[in-house]
Structure 1
Amino acid sequence: MDESSDPEFSGGVEVKERVVNKKFIAAALGNWLEWYDFGVYAALADLLGQHFFPDHDASVQVMQSFLAFAAGYISRPVGGILIGIIGDRLGRKCALWTSILLMMFPTFFIGCLPTYQTAGWLSTILLVILRLLQGIAIGGEYVSALVFSMEHAPGQNKTISGALMSVSVAVGTFSGFGVVVLMRHALSAEAMASIGWRICFWLGLVVGIVGIFLRRQVADPREFIDAQQAGQLSQPIWAALWTHFPDVLLMIGVEAITPVTWYQNFIWIQQVYEGTLTSAPPMPGGAELNTFMQLAPSLFMVGIAACRSDFNFLTSVRRGMALLAALAVPAYLLFDLRVFWAAFLSQSFLAIGGGLIAWGNPYLMHSSFPVDIRVMAMGISYNLSAALLGGPTPYICSQLVVHFGVLSASIWLLFIASLSYTCVCLLLRRQGRQVAANSDGLQSVIPRRIGNAA
């Protein structure tokens, strides 16, 4: 059965309106919560360093705080596997339920933790444990939500659906940073250090409750149900995954640019603006600029959706990677000037590269794996790249800046952009794929080997 014959997708409703429905919102709210927490944690890195890490050097405290930030990535591959198995065998809806429950409670309890001053190292250990639990949830949340929303979307609209799910990531991070900025302006420094930072984490519970309510009311995608009824899910999942293992390895490299770009250029860069890693004074307006610029890639993607909804996703991904590689050094030369206009230009150009990647990357992942292993294969690829390369990015960049200056951080971005570009070319060559238009006019990747197998 094709989704186009489902009553939900029939009628005269415009394609773009169908995407923004209850199912998409239910999936996106979990992403919002995930990235809201990450935005809050990164924006509060200085206070968390003071409360949970006993060092008198502010720059060392920030780096230790980012190490705890990276701890959440260690367990992400575990979550990708466990929730991936749930999603590929028990259903996409079941995976979404599991991930949001595992995410909302650790986020709330971080706001309840005692500080190092009152509980010693126990507070630090508890923070790391909660970050590990969050990592398990996050390991399945984004991919499960992505697969769920794209499988529900009509064929000609899957690229837009995947891109809009990436927008929910940006909105969540923006919300996290925005809440922290508003709290810092509304409260005194003493109040922010005592209770304000806790409130920022507690607010995530509200979104989690709304997300659970909405996810109760949605069903599994027709594509998954048809595969289940046809017996496609009866093959042992590890045997099915092994067939596509080389694709998974290459996809790890392809995915690396996504978390590195986001964390380096729109989260970690906040520390450069604040001057916590160097002896330079804070850049006026830096916190407000960085908070606003986190929406820039999303605004760019929305512009593509409005003007060129048929924009080739492969062209988008490769151009974005090439642009980031070309702009890495010039962007950080501008950052090093520590003036508002230079920082604005730098983040604007980097946002274009990130937006191009975020537009096409979800559908590239989705189209690379079959329905019976899609959640797990995408989860392993996405989360291993995040754990091995994305999570350590704030710490690596902090070390580079402390020892060699702001410009040295560009080396990491240039390396990852080049790696991802190479891997996407190797992935397409290995699979023998070509860009073609299907019967609906969708620009998609069609395996040549399918025709041979038929």
Structure 2
Amino acid sequence: MASIVSTAPTASSASPEQVGGVEKVSRRRLKAIFSGLVGNLVEWYDWYVFSAFSLYFSASFFPSDDTTAQLLQTAGIFALGFLMRPIGGWMFGRIADKVGRKQSMTLSVLLMSLGSLLIALTPTYQTVGIVAPVMLLTARLLQGLSVGGEYGVSTTYLSEMATTGRRGFYSSLMYLTLIGGQLLALGILLALQHLLTAAELLEWGWRLPFVIGAALSVVALLLRANLTETDAFDAQRDNEEGRGSLRLLLQHPQAVAIVVGLTMGGTLAFYTFTTYMLKFLVNTAHLPREQATLASFASLVAFAVMQPVFGSLADRFGRRPMLLAFGVLGTLGTVPLLLALSHARSVGSSILLLLPALAIVSCYSGINAVVKAGLFPTQIRALGIGLPHALTVAVFGGTAEYIALWCKDIGHESYFYWYVAGCIFVSLLVVMRLFHVRQHSYL
């Protein structure tokens, strides 16, 4: 019985021309993949810039003399934004499966730009009182709705555009641009830290990245308006029965369970060692903000480079070994790595500890897109990936910062370390117990 994570692809939307068993990628496909990736990068920049700059704007929306309390309230809004992601996963996944991947991706980036613009224009608490955090929450909910649909639809689009024998590599580019969005956010933060004083950043400079995000979204919108539809979707365009429906999705309970199980540990590990790490290095390791930003930026550059490498390894050696490596190493290594990072006292030591942690996460992030895409047939793929993924991310990824800061606030920060390791262990059990019973992959 073959495994979903190790079998050769059984379906393809590419041309039959192959070299050495690997399909050649046409110029049309490269252009479509590039346009989709640029839009993906902009969407994730808009999403992550909130977390990157929260150290500077949290005081503008929440009155308190306690930095941890302000960050906790901001993390709460960050988490609430995730509650919209399942709705976005359902809404945009349904549009993608019924109307087309292109239309869904174009609409999602438009919604993200509106959220960024609203944050940039929101007045402070000192000016309008409670209206300020309410406006901030509204903008974040719009962004959550947008990014909730982005993952499932982009994953579907890239997986269907990828060529046989290189699906791992091309699908890994989705996380490359996701990390690229974080890098762009941190890069702008580094630039503003050098161009502006700390007082200027706290007062008004934090608004600039949100203005930039809104402008970049317009560029992404134009690129996505010219996307070509995937051959896989076009081939089943006339098949209306159940397409993009929850009824059809529920006919694939095992696939849904696999998406939830894998995402549980994967997303929590990802958000812990990427998005939350900047705050962790400042608030727990007590590095200066500038040094913590530099350490996060440098480690994310390495993390981005790892994605296509691990995607290519999956193409060569299979997907299941990569996921097993993530489960075993993540379960055993998370607690000691986070404990060591909590005592890091320099940029260099922080990077040296983050690199192995991110290499472990790459065993998941570099291949999870193609694994999840292969679980579902074309007519339910975007919804099948998007909805269960978004639900799981909302529960585990969206609350990662809040739970971490809460554990710190009650004086037991190490509880969070064990929580992350435990969730990764659940993902390991999913790989060990569920994947071997899959009959085949749809991609």
Deviates more, 1:12-21 or 1:50-59: 12-21
The aligned counterpart of 2:307 is 301
Deviation of 1:68 (Å): 0.7
Note closer, same or farther for the CA distance 1:138–1:199 as it changes in structure 2 (3 Å cut).
same
Residues in 2 aligned to 1:262 and 1:376: alpha-carbon distance in whole angstroms: 22
Q: Percent identity?
A: 24
Give the structure-2-normalised TM-score: 0.90
The aligned counterpart of 1:239 is 247
Note closer, same or farther for the CA distance 1:259–1:50 as it changes in structure 2 (3 Å cut).
same
Q: Does 1:399 align with 2:406?
A: yes
Q: Does 1:52 align with 2:61?
A: yes
Q: What letter corresponds to residue 88 of structure 1 in structure 2? A: D
SS in 2 for 1:38: helix
Deviation of 1:14 (Å): 8.2
The aligned counterpart of 1:314 is 320
**Looking at both structures, which has the greater relative contact order when contacts are Cα pairs under 8 Å and sequence separation is at least 6?**
2
- Matched positions, count: 430
Contact 2:116/2:213 (<8 A) preserved: yes
Which of 339, 344, 348 in structure 2 is aligned with 1:333?
A: 339
Deviation of 1:245 (Å): 2.9
Deviations 1:427-447 (A, max 9, x none): 314xx226xxxxxxxxxx549
Contact 2:170/2:311 (<8 A) preserved: no
- Equivalence map 1:121-200=2 (5 Å): 121-200=130-209
Deviation of 1:47 (Å): 2.1
Deviation of 1:25 (Å): 1.9
Deviates more, 1:384-393 or 1:22-31: 22-31
- Equivalence map 1:24-43=2 (5 Å): 24-43=33-52
Q: Does 1:219 align with 2:228?
A: yes
Residues in 2 aligned to 1:283 and 1:335: alpha-carbon distance in whole angstroms: 15
Residues in 2 aligned to 1:295 and 1:258: alpha-carbon distance in whole angstroms: 19
Q: Does 1:267 align with 2:272?
A: no
Contact 2:25/2:163 (<8 A) preserved: no
Deviations 1:177-229 (A, max 9, x none): 11112111210122212221111111112321221111122221011111123
Unaligned runs of 5+ in 2: 1-10
Q: What letter corresponds to residue 55 of structure 1 in structure 2? A: S
SS in 2 for 1:54: coil
Deviates more, 1:394-403 or 1:65-74: 394-403
RMSD: 2.5
Contact 2:59/2:70 (<8 A) preserved: yes
Residues in 1 aligned to 2:185 and 2:330: alpha-carbon distance in whole angstroms: 25
The aligned counterpart of 1:75 is 84
Give the structure-1-normalised TM-score: 0.88
Unaligned runs of 5+ in 1: 435-444, 448-454
Q: What letter corresponds to residue 168 of structure 2 in structure 1? A: T
SS in 1 for 2:204: helix
Note closer, same or farther for the CA distance 1:240–1:57 as it changes in structure 2 (3 Å cut).
same
SS in 2 for 1:368: coil
Q: What letter corresponds to residue 323 of structure 1 in structure 2? A: L
Residues in 2 aligned to 1:207 and 1:261: alpha-carbon distance in whole angstroms: 28
Residues in 2 aligned to 1:144 and 1:206: alpha-carbon distance in whole angstroms: 22
Deviations 1:347-389 (A, max 9, x none): 1111111111112211110111111111111111210111011
Deviates more, 1:61-70 or 1:241-250: 241-250
SS in 1 for 2:228: coil
The aligned counterpart of 1:433 is 438
Deviation of 1:105 (Å): 1.4
The aligned counterpart of 1:440 is none
Contact 1:29/1:207 (<8 A) preserved: no
Q: What letter corresponds to residue 29 of structure 1 in structure 2? A: V
Residues in 2 aligned to 1:17 and 1:322: alpha-carbon distance in whole angstroms: 38
Which of 349, 361, 370 in structure 2 is aligned with 1:363?
A: 370
SS in 1 for 2:343: coil
